[in-house]
Structure 1
């Protein structure tokens, strides 16, 4: 009896696995290959960290983030020998010659905004090169992507997110 049941089971598996029907219609097209957004503040809206704004600036997202998004912030740090922009990942920390901390550029974000701020011993003494006329790129990407890329390297983030310079949204506020 057991042999007959085993025989029927094997025949049934062969019969059902060889069934084939017509190909179904194609599914809907997936989302485009972009997995993020990039914003840059442009002239005349450079950020200035002053006593009047408590050494803090805020960028409000045009669309609220979703739970799985993270924000990466990069500060324009000049150009390299080839004239290409250099983007420094935040947080950045600077030290006195004796090795003690002078100040840091940091940020926090919510679903609605990112707040970039100076943190230090005496913000008023921080060189103007780090306080005035600052340009930032704010990159929004999914958290799982951010976990798999070198976040300190702006170019790697852009390449991995399939974003190009032409997709950087220049913002005025």
Structure 2
């Protein structure tokens, strides 16, 4: 009887040892989001705007900011920031850049003569903030410049874009 108990205990130990858990360090519960900010104006005070998120994002999340720069054949053209425009002589005309925290993104308009930049670059801008889960960006070879590719790769339903008027 003792030998049978030992054999069953040994088989039980082997069986339990072969059990594994799926611990691949991927947070599948984190959902990517898009926040759209309309009526964004870069005014002469400091030519920057703060885009406050509707809720705090995780420390590990990354943020991409896109600016609506026009449309072509009914499709919006989104440009990833930083975005730079040059004078004909090759010097900097203006540049959109940003930084972010868990609470907001600050978008800056930089340049040498911003007072004389046309209002089409300063007023009534539309910006989109895409929240990218931290695990996703580290191991993905996605082209972040292509807004549509980012939305597809992150499986974002654009009808659920959170719209915020500045």
Structure 1 residues 107-126: aligned runs within 5 Å: 107-126=98-117
Contact 1:50–1:124 (Cα < 8 Å) also in 2: no
Per-residue CA distance 1:146-168 (angstroms, 9 max, x = gap):
34221111111111111022111
Give me the CA root mean square deviation.
2.4
Aligned partners of 2:96, 2:135: CA distance in 1, in Å? 25
User: How many pairs are equivalent?
Assistant: 148
Per-residue CA distance 1:82-128 (angstroms, 9 max, x = gap):
x1111111100111111111110001111111001101111112222
SS at match of 1:137: strand
Sort the Cα spacing of 1:17 and 1:64 in 2 relative to 1 into closer, same or farther, 3 A.
Answer: same
Partner residue in 1 for 2:162: 169
Structure 1 residues 3-22: aligned runs within 5 Å: 15-16=11-12
Aligned partners of 1:32, 1:70: CA distance in 2, in Å? 16
Aligned partners of 1:134, 1:87: CA distance in 2, in Å? 12
TM-score (normalised: structure 1) = 0.76
TM-score (normalised: structure 2) = 0.79
Stretches of structure 1 lacking an aligned partner (at least 5 in a row): 1-10, 21-30
Contact 1:39–1:139 (Cα < 8 Å) also in 2: yes
Q: Does 1:70 align with 2:62?
A: yes
Stretches of structure 2 lacking an aligned partner (at least 5 in a row): 1-6, 17-26
Kindly name which structure, 1 or 2, has the bigger radius of gyration based on alpha carbons: 1
Q: 1:157 aligns with which of 145, 150, 153?
A: 150
Q: Measure how far apart 1:49 and its partner are.
A: 0.8
Aligned partners of 1:146, 1:98: CA distance in 2, in Å? 36
Q: 2:80 aligns with which of 81, 89, 95?
A: 89
Q: Does 1:36 align with 2:32?
A: yes
Aligned partners of 1:33, 1:154: CA distance in 2, in Å? 22
Contact 2:35–2:53 (Cα < 8 Å) also in 1: no
Contact 1:56–1:116 (Cα < 8 Å) also in 2: yes
SS at match of 2:40: coil
Contact 1:90–1:105 (Cα < 8 Å) also in 2: yes
